[in-house]
């Protein structure tokens, strides 16, 4: 687990490149905000989290699998991650921020639809997710 990065991951870098190309300017990992959001667009009062489907338990996602070993440890760990995410998102919304969660599976399988992120940054909703539903991924095992 020591090799698992929390910052500058490939999905995060893809979102950063896209937003920068669209003309958005942002700050990275602001420590004064709950959860140290991956991207903070202060001008838009928007924070963006780029979540891995496994670690943050993207509901209904192919990648949100559960490990077969040490089941109790992993269940507690992953449920704790989800609860912490919800708590931090609620704190940010209470403080007047809008929250956008971008899931790793969308960047893997729906990159052609990444323009939806630009639309969501201008939306006035307090919370948004992209993709709204996980893409259907077919297992290629056994072929």
Q: Which residues contact 1 (CB under 8 A, 6 or more apart)?
A: none
Q: How far apart are the first and last CA of the chain?
A: 31
pLDDT for 1-47, tens place per residue? 555 666 778 899 999 999 999 999 999 999 999 999 999 999 999 99
Q: Where residue 142 falls among pLDDT bands split at 50, 70, 90? A: very low
Mean pLDDT, residues 109-130 taken together:
86
Q: According to CATH, what is the number of the domain 10-130?
A: 3.40.960.10
pLDDT given at position 132: 84
pLDDT for 86-95, tens place per residue? 999 999 999 9
**pTM for the whole structure:** 0.89
Q: How many other CB atoms sit within 10 Å of the CB of residue 68?
A: 7
Helix segments in the chain, DSSP class H: 10-21, 53-56, 71-94, 104-109, 115-122
Pairwise pLDDT comparison (14 vs 123), residue with the higher score:
14
């Amino acid at each position: 687990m020591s090799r698992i990065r929390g910052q500058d991951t490939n999905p995060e870098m893809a979102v950063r490149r896209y937003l920068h190309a669209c003309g958005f300017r942002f700050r990275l990992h602001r420590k004064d905000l709950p959860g140290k959001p991956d991207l903070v667009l202060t001008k838009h009062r928007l924070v963006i989290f780029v979540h891995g489907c496994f670690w943050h338990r993207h509901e209904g996602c192919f990648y949100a699998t559960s490990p077969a070993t040490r089941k109790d440890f992993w269940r507690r760990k992953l449920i704790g991650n989800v609860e912490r995410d919800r708590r931090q998102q609620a704190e940010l919304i209470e403080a007047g921020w809008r929250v956008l969660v971008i899931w790793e599976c969308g960047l893997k399988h729906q990159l052609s639809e990444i323009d939806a992120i630009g639309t969501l940054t201008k939306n006035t909703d307090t919370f948004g997710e992209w993709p709204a539903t996980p893409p259907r991924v077919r297992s290629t095992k056994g072929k």
